[in-house]
Structure 1
Amino acid sequence: MFLGDENWAIRGLARFRTDGYDADDSSDLDGMSDRRNSLDLGAELWIENSWGNFGLDWVVDALGQHDGYEAGLSYVIPFRGAFGMKKLGLRPMLGFNWRSENLNNYYYGVRTKEATAIRTPYKSGSSVNPYAGVTLDYQLAERWSIFSLFTNEWLGTEITDSPIVDQDSKISVILGLLYRF
């Protein structure tokens, strides 16, 4: 945390971006250049109050892969003691991410030299991607917890219109161990 108190915080963010792919992984991508994963760095403003938590974040490409950025807004309702278990936390969430043109174009665009008879060139613009999810956590000890995060992100039309995209949403599942300082 850079600064804040028990009701708000400004903190640094580091996110591993896993939208990359190896063109050899699918015959549908024959002739495409590989797209590399990246590391995004940024900051988040987090506000907690009695009717929920709000987050506003901004990250940029730290490794120069996509040269783009992403901003997000989230709303989380925390429940401690879910299902009558004091150590269990449940946090449903809603939000959206705004992705820049550079970010989308790197991962979902099709360059002229990558085009084929069935894969037309495509230049993506920026997009707004809404999402919904839930986090479950269980407190193992005072500072240790295990957690799971499930999200479904609905991809904006600037992504789904790409000839290399055949889905309109992306499901993510994360399991982890957390130590609180």
Structure 2
Amino acid sequence: MRSQYSRLSLLAACIAAALLLPTAHAQENAPTSVPQREDSQAAQWSLGLAAGTEQSPYRGYGNKTRALPLLMYNGRYFQFMGTTADLKLGTLGPVGFTLRAKYTDDGYEGSDAPILNGMEKRKGSFWVGANAIWRNPYADLSLEWLTDASGNSGGQTLKLRAEHQFKAGNFTLAPYLGINWMSSDYVDYYFGVRQNEATAQRAAYQGSSTANLIGGLRTGYRLTPSQSLFLDVHVTRYGSGITDSPLVDRSSAAGVRAGYLYRF
């Protein structure tokens, strides 16, 4: 376990060093795709509605479909969007830093799918950590580290993502690619099978740390200066720590989200 965290610390240090490398063409205020998180001195509020569906990795679970209202705020020192809130720490050259709090609904009930019958409930978690983003003309690079503050899984996640934005009139296109690392505690909590949960069809399984690859395309269309539509289509490729679980029957999953935003 100690060697595992040593490798993680080395990986985080290398990525952080790469984020801090100066660039002659860096643009601190490079635009982002819809929904936008603009760096502005004036506070900005947005209201909207989003809906999405995503394939679940759990065997026989089907798709997870949700619709929810959106409330966004972006100020000089604080911003939140959906279930994520950031405290802005400032910038160092082209790199911006924030402290982050986030809620994720990654859990399940034993009644959600036949393979989960008899499993103890896994709860969603409240996460805290930090995020850094380097804006430059080639790709916006972000690095997020979070730890489970609720103590449900006791896990950690590390996410590295690259995104580049193209604009054509009122349309915005932003392809992105990332890697999401999850600690063994996280994987074991959500994809592991405890000894008392094992059956003839569901062997006991202790999850190990893994890394998922994710790629997608975000698009936006500005209807008016204050109104916009957005669409996000993505695919996740699961690491072996997840695909080896007897609860899982797929190696990848697709998802789509769409919504409307009104900015005040």
Question: Could you state the TM-score of these two structures normalised by the residue count of structure 1?
Answer: 0.87
Closer, same or farther in 2 for the Cα pair 1:7/1:144, shift >3 Å?
farther
Q: Identify which of 30, 42, 54 aligns with 2:117.
A: 30
Closer, same or farther in 2 for the Cα pair 1:152/1:123, shift >3 Å?
same
CA positional deviation for 1:6? 8.5
In the alignment, what sits opposite 1:9? 96
In the alignment, what sits opposite 1:102? 185
CA positional deviation for 1:141? 4.8
Determine helix, strand or coil for the equivalent of 2:111. helix
In the alignment, what sits opposite 1:121? 204
2:244 maps to amino acid: D
Q: Identify which of 5, 17, 21 aligns with 2:108.
A: 21
Distance 1:141 1:10 in 2: 31
CA positional deviation for 1:36? 1.2
Q: Identity rate of aligned residues, in percent?
A: 34
Is residue 148 of structure 2 the alignment partner of residue 61 of structure 1?
A: yes
CA positional deviation for 1:143? 5.8
Give CA deviations for 1:115-157 in whole Å, capped at 9, x if unaligned.
0112111001100111101111223455654322222111101
Query: Greater relative contact order: 1 or 2 (C-alpha under 8 angstroms, separation 6 or more)?
Result: 2
Closer, same or farther in 2 for the Cα pair 1:95/1:107, shift >3 Å?
same
CA positional deviation for 1:34? 1.1
Is residue 132 of structure 2 the alignment partner of residue 49 of structure 1?
A: no
Gap regions ≥5 residues in structure 1: none
Count residues in correspondence. 177
1:97 maps to amino acid: N
2:114 maps to amino acid: S
In the alignment, what sits opposite 2:220? 137
Closer, same or farther in 2 for the Cα pair 1:12/1:151, shift >3 Å?
farther
* Greater Cα shift, 120-129 or 167-176: 167-176
CA positional deviation for 1:88? 1.6
Gap regions ≥5 residues in structure 2: 1-87
Closer, same or farther in 2 for the Cα pair 1:167/1:34, shift >3 Å?
same
Distance 2:261 2:192 in 1: 36
Distance 1:119 1:59 in 2: 30
Distance 1:107 1:126 in 2: 12
Question: Could you state the TM-score of these two structures normalised by the residue count of structure 2?
Answer: 0.61
Closer, same or farther in 2 for the Cα pair 1:48/1:147, shift >3 Å?
same
Is residue 254 of structure 2 the alignment partner of residue 174 of structure 1?
A: no
